[in-house]
Amino acid sequence: MRVVRFSVLLLGVLLTFRSPGFECPRLPVVPPSGAPVRYTESLLWEVTGPEEQRNFLFGTIHLAAEMTGQPTPAVTSALMASTQFGMEVIMDLETLMEIGERMRYPDRKTLRAVLGDELFMRAITLLSGYGISESDAAQLKPWAVFTTLSLPPGTRSAPLDMVLMSTAQRTRKTIFGLETLAEQTTIFESIEMQHQVTLVAETVCHYEVLNQITADLIDDYRRRDLRAVYRHAERFQSPAQDLLTEELLVARNLRLAQRMQRHLAAGGAFIAIGALHLPGTEGVLAHLVAHGYRVRAVAD
């Protein structure tokens, strides 16, 4: 799985670029580990505080709800029973406009100059399938290219996260975000440019294969099989992807767990975060248990 917006995997080895062309990176397959993974029994979890404060934590996926499936009755019931709704970043109109600005170079620097002619042309060919013109693509930063191409094209409906947020707004729940957009985009901005270019090359060169992985991930998510979703993250490895995974998942798991605790302490919180943040010994659920919370899988 590519770990981006759902979170998704892009892998291979570092490229040695030379004008006018470049070598595509390999896509090494790593046999999945047979070791059990904790906290994969459900996407929906009841989280109880030391003073019996009852909350819910839901593993979402940052894709259109028409692809991932609408919220199940169990998820809707948990949301309706809550007084607070939290998500990674509140996606209001101002935030969406800011995303567009952060994805582009503010000066005369261009994507072609960073990627080189051949990789740039291959990238814009794929980006056209997302409704992005060559002139618009020319101003994108490399991280914006690989995050865009890691998502399936052709869907413009609201992501599952925003469907849940809309329900929370309609029912007048208190809404909060655990992170800021600046914090999320800084993760990508801080990746060394050679690694950003590598991630673009991996995505472009193996676009069809990686899109199929995303399709498999979506199928597993619709079946509520978090264990299978988690296994996708073990399928490939590369230096660039390992760095991205460390920053997007492992480091953020701790931050998310720390920041949600004041809301959990108040009780009545329903918090939706990317499903891959939940499981494992370094996942959010494990961090919460270490801080004295009890967690219970809820049939979803």
All structural domains of the chain with their residue ranges: 44-298
Predicted confidence (pLDDT) per residue in 26-61, tens digit: 877 676 666 789 999 999 999 999 999 999 999 999
Both structure tokens of 284:
């959010």
Task: Tell me the pLDDT band of 21, cut-offs 50, 70 and 90.
Answer: low
Average pLDDT over residues 224-229: 94
pLDDT grade for 6, boundaries at 50, 70 and 90: very low
> Average pLDDT in the 137-165 region?
91
pLDDT in tens, 276-292: 999 999 999 999 999 99
Residue 129, helix vs strand vs coil: helix
Question: Residue 18's pLDDT is what?
Answer: 37
**Residue 155 pLDDT level (bands cut at 50, 70, 90):** low
**pLDDT, position 247:** 86
Q: What is the pLDDT of residue 1?
A: 43
Q: How high is the pLDDT of residue 287?
A: 98
Per-residue model confidence as pLDDT tens digits over 165-204 = 999 999 999 999 999 999 999 999 999 999 999 999 999 9
What is the Cα–Cα distance from 250 to 256, expressed in whole angstroms? 10
Residue partners of 287: CB distance under 8 A and separation at least 6: 253, 254, 257, 258
Question: What's the mean pLDDT when you consider all of the chain?
Answer: 88
Q: Give CA angle at 136 (134, 142), nearest 5°.
A: 90
Per-residue pLDDT band at 85 (split at 50, 70, 90): very high
What number is the average pLDDT over the span 237-259? Answer: 87
The pLDDT of 129-151, averaged and rounded, is 95
Whether pLDDT at 118 is above 50: yes
- Please name which of 102, 55, 22 lies closest in space to residue 298, comparing C-alpha atoms: 55
Q: Is the pLDDT assigned to residue 15 strictly greater than 90?
A: no
How many C-beta atoms lie closer than 10 Å to residue 146's C-beta? 26
Cα gap 272→179, rounded to integer Å: 12
Quote the percentage of the chain above a pLDDT of 70. 90
Q: Integer distance in angstroms from the first to the last C-alpha of the chain? A: 22
Q: How confident is the model at residue 89 (pLDDT cuts 50, 70, 90)?
A: very high
Bridge partners, 54 (sequence order):
48
Count other C-beta atoms under 10 Å from residue 85's C-beta: 23
| CA distance linking residue 173 with residue 185, whole number of Å | 27
Question: Which residues, other chains included, contact 234 with Cβ-Cβ below 8 Å and sequence gap of 6+?
Answer: 30, 32, 33
